[in-house]
Amino acid sequence: MADDGEEQLEFDFGKKKKKSKDKKEKTEGEDGEVTLVSTEWEKGEAYSYDDLLSRLYQIIEDKNPLLGTTKKYIMKPPQVVRVGSKKVGWVNFTEICNLMKRPVDHVINFVLAEFGTEGSTTSDGQLTLKGAYKEKHVESLLRKYIREFVTCEMCKSANTNLDKDSSTRLWSVNCQNCGASRTASSIKTGYHAVTRADRRAAKQKL
């Protein structure tokens, strides 16, 4: 009896397997012809970190054309001429201030503080400085002003505004491209040699 049970068990197991197989074949016949394709996994092209980073930047630029794009900032070189024996004139001073979109008074305060000298503007927009300054000195100073009060630190764009907070009296540089904002450094007075006129003015205050 035990042998018959084992044979019956094997017979039943085989019958169920065959029935399942027939059902599968029938289902495939109803659905139509099925073609089985065996494929092997193949390793694709390996990308380096720089390639992936470049691809990411490219996607960002394609979806946001104005983001991260910097326009070349072209500034006219300062024109400096001699005015007498002890003064120089910055001829295109007002024109450069307008190109930078910065207040003339703010630029004057920066120039006088950095040079540690005295100066004033004329009716034709020229800035007269006391001292023997050359164009290379003025150009170096102009680059410093653009770096501190014009250029955006985030996207390096020059499309910025310089606004003054009425409550704190601090200047802030606001970028029109990326929306970044930062507080501009305060203008620090540089070395100023005490002249005879300064001593005379100090005596008059006593």
Phi, psi of 124, rounded to the nearest 5 degrees = -95, 10
What does the pLDDT read at residue 126? 92
Judge contact between 145 and 110, C-beta under 8 A.
Answer: yes
What does the pLDDT read at residue 68? 52
What does the pLDDT read at residue 6? 47
pTM for the model: 0.59
Largest CA distance in the chain: 135
For each of the chain's 206 residues, which pLDDT tens digit applies? 545 544 444 444 444 444 444 444 444 445 567 677 777 777 777 888 888 888 888 887 777 665 655 556 678 899 999 998 899 999 999 999 999 999 999 999 999 999 989 999 988 889 999 999 999 999 999 999 999 999 988 888 888 999 988 888 889 999 988 888 999 888 876 545 555 666 676 677 66
What does the pLDDT read at residue 73? 64
What does the pLDDT read at residue 141? 92
Q: Which residues pair with 111 in a beta bridge?
A: none
Where do we find the tokens 């910097």? 70
What does the pLDDT read at residue 50? 86
| Cα gap 100→159, rounded to integer Å | 9
Q: Helix, strand or coil for residue 129?
A: strand
| Cα gap 158→74, rounded to integer Å | 10
Q: Encoding tokens for residue 90?
A: 């910055």
